Structure 1
Amino acid sequence: MATRRFYCPDLSPSSLTLDDEQGSHARRSLRLSAGDAVELFDGAGEIAEGRVAEVKKRVSIDIVQRRQAPRLSPVIDLAVALPKGARADVLIEKASELGADRVIPLITQRSVVEPRDSKMRRFDRLCIESAKQCGRAYLMQIDEPTPLSDVITRADHDLKWIADTSLAGESVHKMPSGTGPGERVIVLIGPEGGWTDTERQAARDAGFTPQRLGPHVMRIETAALAAVAICRRES
């Protein structure tokens, strides 16, 4: 049976109560009862094993033991000009499953989407639900929409890539062999209209290396997920 996981941002009490939404899911969908084993996580690396103490209008859980999960390496930041509609949801959900640490919605010269507050809140919920499903201990973080110029200026990562379909030659398949534990990686994924020449040059001037992610032109969400998979390969 799959582990029943719940998100609880504060795991310090020895006993806690699930919020209304998760409690309802535990009662009605999972049909949990007293004594059932569950796993709780706070999104910041702490995981707790617990047992259901009581199932009434609220679901209470007793903590049995806690542990701190290690972070995956390298740390992956994905700066991406988000696509429209449900495709952005797919990108966020699957990037979380693949192990991206942060998504930075990019504002570029050819961007077509700048997510509003309601969409950003939806992204946060998707990160939580994805983490519950895939077993990750650290929530993927979603930054506020940020201009490309600010992202490349602030980037102090150990490895900096910009995905560029205009390049000829072989595609990148894995991280460079010199990438070590604890290092930080950032990948820029452009809009459907592509990068402008000015943006390409600005990224190069800031130390970003252009890379092809595959033999064909990809949609934004496909390129973003390919980038995370390449960076996470063999990590």
Structure 2
Amino acid sequence: MSTWIHHCGERDVKRPDRFFFEPLEQFSEGDRLELDSREAAHAQRVKRHGVGSEVELFDGHGRVARALIDAVSRRGELSLRIVELGRSPRPERRVWIATAVPKGDRMETMLDMLTQLGVFRLTPVVFARSAAQSGPGRQKRWRRVLVESCKQSRRGILPRLDEPRSLSEWLGEIGVAASGTRWLADPDGMSYERARADAEPGRRTEVLVVVGPEGGVTSAEKRDLIEFGFTPVALGDHVLRVETAAVAFAAALASVSEL
């Protein structure tokens, strides 16, 4: 096994700038490919790469490649040759955040931070008191945020981003808890420390956290969530904004090796 592949998931190894390309599954070492126009422009205009530069590619599904730029067209198209293929390690714990959509650009900031913290799945949920809705084109823009965050944080697996759906629709999809730990962010809930201690050993590798809107979930929504296995859990003594609560839970979970 080569040094590069062996260290794909390690932080102390200096690696080339990385760019997004999908899918890598159909390529082998020695094959050539072209970056899309957005990634090619970033490589040349921002990172100042040219013929002979070594870069790293990732496809968001765990596959990575070390490649050399071997041609640049007059239109700025980049041709690369794959030197080596590898895989990013998969996380031992999967954190799923189902959250109300914050107002303005705070959703994009939240998505960026949650990606850096290793959250594996993100579901925008519409609650009774939701103030912000998902408009046309936002899903595509949100996915771009995830890609850019993966590039910056050197994460190899893109978080799964679901289409927005109502709380009742989403609960119908996930069903009553069969596995994993389920928490509802709630300033009146039990402490995070107690919730961690109470988590069943067989349910600690998957954690699903629901974050409601800034107006809070209604009593009926809270009752439904509890019926579906969600335990109200508080982080600290204060009422948090949507994005703050989501990031705080993700950071708390990322900071411990096990619940």
TM-score calculated relative to the size of structure 2:
0.84
Q: Which fold has the larger relative contact order, with Cα–Cα distance below 8 Å and residues 6 or more apart in sequence?
A: 1
Alignment gaps of 5+ in structure 1: none
**How well do the aligned residues superpose, as a CA RMSD in angstroms?**
2.1
Residue 232 of structure 2 corresponds to which residue in structure 1? 210
Q: 1:10 to 1:193 in 2, by over 3 A?
A: same
Aligned partner of residue 220 in structure 2, secondary structure: helix
Alignment gaps of 5+ in structure 2: 1-13
Give the one of 44, 52, 55 matched to 1:35. Answer: 52
Q: Partners of 1:143 and 1:9 in 2: how far apart?
A: 19
Q: How many residues align?
A: 234
* Deviations 1:3-41 (CA, angstroms, capped at 9, x unpaired): 311110122331111111111121122111222211100
Indicate if the aligned counterparts of 1:75 and 1:184 stay in contact, CA closer than 8 A.
Answer: yes
Indicate whether 1:121 and 2:140 are aligned: yes
Q: Partners of 1:161 and 1:60 in 2: how far apart?
A: 47
Residue 234 of structure 1 corresponds to which residue in structure 2? 256
Q: 1:181 to 1:69 in 2, by over 3 A?
A: farther
Q: Partners of 1:145 and 1:43 in 2: how far apart?
A: 21
Residue 4 of structure 1 corresponds to which residue in structure 2? 17
Equivalent position amino acid for 2:21 in 1: C
Give the Å deviation of 1:175. 4.4
Equivalent position amino acid for 2:249 in 1: A
Indicate if the aligned counterparts of 2:180 and 2:204 stay in contact, CA closer than 8 A.
Answer: no
Give the one of 149, 155, 171 matched to 1:130. Answer: 149
Indicate whether 1:46 and 2:63 are aligned: yes
Indicate whether 1:82 and 2:95 are aligned: no
Indicate whether 1:68 and 2:81 are aligned: no
Q: Partners of 2:171 and 2:235 in 1: how far apart?
A: 20
Give the Å deviation of 1:76. 1.2
* Deviations 1:160-190 (CA, angstroms, capped at 9, x unpaired): 11111123x6344884575569832210001
Indicate if the aligned counterparts of 1:76 and 1:186 stay in contact, CA closer than 8 A.
Answer: yes
Superposed, 1:95-174 pairs within 5 Å as 95-155=114-174, 156=177, 157-167=179-189, 170-172=191-193
Indicate whether 1:23 and 2:40 are aligned: yes
Q: Partners of 2:233 and 2:109 in 1: how far apart?
A: 23
Give the Å deviation of 1:50. 1.1
Deviates further, 64-73 or 198-207: 64-73
Equivalent position amino acid for 2:32 in 1: S
